[in-house]
């Protein structure tokens, strides 16, 4: 289960801020606006990639999340097409809608994606 570990409000009145999400194995930083969240609240909304700088197929079969810089995260996860393209990392399902996936990737392959922002829309 994914939950909100911490909230860094940019504007609490407008409900704009960065959520630190965890499934107790991985942590992701996600931007959110328009919804009031509470720390330790369960998080079940979709996560979308707002801006990616690199997408590659990798030979590993291990999911991971690494903070590269304050604004960049490296995501490695399994590609799933049920029903839409998603990157699976632990309990996280990251929607890949709008990304152009290489023709040589198949369901079950692991992808490495460098993102500058994840969003809840």
| Residues spanned by the domain of 114 | 48-119
The reported pTM is: 0.91
Confidence of residue 27 (pLDDT cuts 50, 70, 90): very high
Does 103 reside within a domain?
Answer: yes
pLDDT at 1 over 90: yes
Does 14 reside within a domain?
Answer: no
Distances (CA, A) of 26 to 9, 14, 20, 64: 21, 28, 10, 7
Does 35 reside within a domain?
Answer: no
- In total, the chain counts a number of residues equal to 121
Does 22 reside within a domain?
Answer: no
User: Could you tell me where the DSSP H helices lie in 14-84?
Assistant: none
- The domain tally of the chain equals 1
Calculated CA dihedral for residues 113, 62, 24, 5, nearest 10 degrees: -10
CA distance 27 to 69: 15
Confidence of residue 116 (pLDDT cuts 50, 70, 90): very high
CA angle (8 as vertex; 65, 91 as ends), nearest 5: 35
């Amino acid at each position: 289960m994914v939950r909100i570990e911490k909230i860094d409000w940019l504007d609490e009145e407008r409900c704009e801020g960065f959520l630190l999400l965890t499934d107790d194995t991985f942590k992701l930083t996600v931007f959110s606006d328009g919804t009031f969240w509470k720390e330790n609240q369960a998080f079940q909304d979709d996560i979308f990639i707002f801006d990616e700088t690199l997408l590659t197929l990798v030979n590993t079969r291990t999911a991971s999340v690494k903070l590269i810089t304050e604004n960049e995260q490296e995501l490695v996860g399994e590609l799933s097409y049920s029903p839409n393209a998603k990157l699976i990392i632990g309990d996280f399902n990251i929607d890949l809608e709008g990304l152009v996936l290489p023709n040589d990737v198949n369901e079950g392959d692991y992808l490495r994606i460098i993102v500058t922002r994840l969003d809840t829309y």
